[in-house]
Amino acid sequence: MSERASSPVGTAEPASGASPTATPTPTASPTERPGRGAALVHRLVVVRELGILAALLLLVVATVVANPRFLSGQNIRDLLISASILTVLAAGQTVVIITRNVDLSVGSTLGLSAYATGTLLVNGTPVPLAVLAGVAVGALCGLLNGVIVAVAKVPSLVVTLGTLYAIRGLDSLWASQSGRLQINAADLPSGFKAIAGARVLGVPVLFLVAVAVVVLVGHHLRSYRSGRELYGIGSDPDAARLSGIPVGRRVLAAFVVSGALAGLAGVMYAARFQTLDATAGTGQELFVVAAAVVGGVAIFGGSGSVYGAALGALLLTTIGAALPQLGLNPFWREAAVGALILAAIVLDRSLSLRLARRLRGRNLRGS
C-alpha cells in the first residue's frame, strides 16, 4: 500500500506522560497516520469512477469494432448534446439525493420549462430573457417541492411524486388552453435554434454548459460550508439538527437548485429538439436517478459526487446510442440500464464493505 506523504500535519505524538500504559501493538498498526484514512476513501472514489470510465471505454471500443463510424465527429457531438441534458438533470438530482431526499418531478419540470420557453420565444421575447424565464420556472417548481418537504415535513418521495403529476398536468392544461399543442421549429427564432449547433473549438456549446454546471455544483459541494452541510444532513439528519445546521433551509435550497437545473435542462431540450409539446421529458426522472446511482451517489444520502453522476449520465446515454450500432434491438437499452444499476449497487456494496474492514482493522489501539 502506498503511503501518502502529502499530508500537511505530522503524526501527533501524545504529550509525554499522557498515556503511561500505551504499548505498541505488534500485529496491527496501532496508530492512525494522518492521510491514510483519506487515502483509503479517495482510492475508493477513484476506483468507483474509474469503473464507470472503464465500462464506458469498453462500450465505445466494442461499438467502434462493430461500426467504425460510431466515432465520427458528428456522432460524438450528437452523443455529447444528448448527454448534456441528462447531465444537468443528474447534477441537480445529486444535490437533492445527497440530503437523503429525491426529486421525482424533474421530468415534468423540464417539460413545463421547455414549453414556457418555447411559448415566450414564439411571442417574441428576446432569447436571453426567455432562457432566464425557463430557469426561473424550474426554480419555482423546485421551491414548491422544497417548501412542502421542509415545512410540512412530508417525505420527498411522496411530495415529488405528487408534483410530478401536478406539474405535468399544468403543462398539458396550458398547452390545450393556449391552442398551441405543439410548438414547431418554424415558430422559433433562428437565434435560439442556433444554440443547438453552436460550437466552441468544435465542442458543442450545450455540452460546455453541462460541464460548467457540473464543475460549479461539484466545487460548491466540496468546498463550501453549505455544501458540506448538505452531506451532513444526508449522513445523519438528527446529528445535523443537533449541530445547529439549518436543515430545513438547506433542503429547501437543494430542491430549488434541482428545480432550476431542471428548468435549464428544459431550455436545452427546447434548443435541441425545437419541437415542443406537453409530453417533453416524460419519464426522465427515473433515468436521472439511475444516472446518479450508477455514478455512485448513495440513494440514502451523505456520499457521492456530481462528477460521478455526470459520468453515469454519459454512460447511460452512450448505451442508448451504441446498442443500435451493435446491431441490437434498441429495446435492450432498458435492460442494459437495469443491469448497470444492479452492477453499480453490487460494486458500491462490496467496496464499502472492504472500506469498512480496512477502517475496522485500524481501530485496534495501543492504549
Partner 1 sequence: MPGAAVLALEDVSKSFGAVAALRGARLELRAGEAHALVGENGAGKSTLVKILAGVHAPDAGRVLLDGQPVHLDGPAAARAAGIAVIYQEPTLFPDLSVAENIFMGRQPLGGGRRIDRKELHARCAALFERLGVRLDPERPARGLSIADQQMVEIAKALSFDARVLVMDEPTAALSGVEVERLFTVARALRDGGAAVLFISHRFEEVFDLCDRITVMRDGQWVATDDAADLTVDQVVRLMVGRDVSSLFPKQDVEPGEVVLSVRGLTRRGVFSDVSFDVRAGEIVALAGLVGAGRSEVVRAVFGVDAYDEGSVEVAGRPLRPGRPAAAMAAGVALVPEDRRQQGLVMELSVERNATLTRRWQLARGGLLSSRAERATAAEWSTKLQVKAGKLADPVSTLSGGNQQKVVLAKWLSTNPRVLIVDEPTRGIDVGTKAEVHRLLSQLAADGLAVVMVSSELPEVLGMADRVLVMHEGRLVDDIPRARADEGSVMLAATGQGRTTAVAP
As measured in angstroms, the least distance from the Cβ of 35 to partner 1 is 6
User: Does position 248 bind partner 1 by CB under 8 A?
Assistant: no
Tell me the C-alpha distance between 77 and 203, whole Å: 7
Do the beta carbons of residue 211 and residue 313 sit within 8 Å? no
Beta carbon of residue 301, minimum distance to partner 1 (angstroms, whole number): 8
Residue 275 CA to residue 184 CA, distance in Å, equals: 5
Least distance CB 88 / partner 1 (angstroms): 24
DSSP-derived 3-state class of residue 179: coil
Rounded CA-CA distance 57/40 in Å is: 25
**Binds partner 1 (CB under 8 A): choice among 61, 154, 157, 239:** 239
Binding of partner 1 by 43 (CB under 8 A)? no
- Closest to partner 1 by CB, 95 vs 270, is 95
285 touching partner 1, by CB under 8 A: no
CA 256 to centroid of chain Cα atoms: 15
Q: How many residues does the chain have?
A: 367
Q: Using the rule CB under 8 A, is 8 a contact of partner 1?
A: yes
Q: Which of 3, 12, 151, 158 binds partner 1 (CB under 8 A)?
A: 12
Secondary structure of 264-310 in HEC code, one letter for each residue: HHHHHHHHHHCCECCCCCCCHHHHHHHHHHHCCCCCCCCCCCHHHHH
Q: Using the rule CB under 8 A, is 235 a contact of partner 1?
A: yes
Q: Hey, which residues between 19 and 38 contact partner 1 (CB under 8 A)? A: 19-23, 25, 27-28, 30-38
Decide if 70 contacts 60 (C-beta within 8 A).
yes
Residue from 14, 155, 169, 330 in contact with partner 1 (CB under 8 A): 14
- Residue 72 binds partner 1 (CB under 8 A): no
187 touches partner 1 (CB under 8 A): no
Of 154 and 339, CB closest to partner 1: 154
Nearest to 228 by CA among 215, 243, 209: 243
**Binder among 92, 296, 302, 312 for partner 1 (CB under 8 A):** 302
**Which residue number, 254 or 276, has a Cβ lying nearer to partner 1?**
254
Q: How far is the CB of 279 from partner 1 (least distance, A)?
A: 38
The CB-of-30 to partner 1 minimum distance in angstroms stands at 8
* Number of other CB atoms surrounding residue 34 within 10 Å: 15
Q: Is 367 in the site for partner 1 (CB under 8 A)?
A: yes
Between 26 and 202, CB nearer to partner 1: 26
91/289 Cα distance (integer angstroms): 10
Residues 6+ apart with CB under 8 A from 102: 93, 96, 156, 157, 160, 289, 299
Q: Which is nearer to partner 1, 19 or 176 (CB)?
A: 19
Block residue for cell numbers 483509503: 40
Integer Cα distance of 135 and 126 in angstroms: 15
Can you give the binding site for partner 1, defined by CB under 8 A?
7-9, 12-15, 18-23, 25, 27-28, 30-38, 40-41, 223-225, 228-229, 231-232, 234-236, 238-246, 298, 302-303, 355-356, 359-365, 367
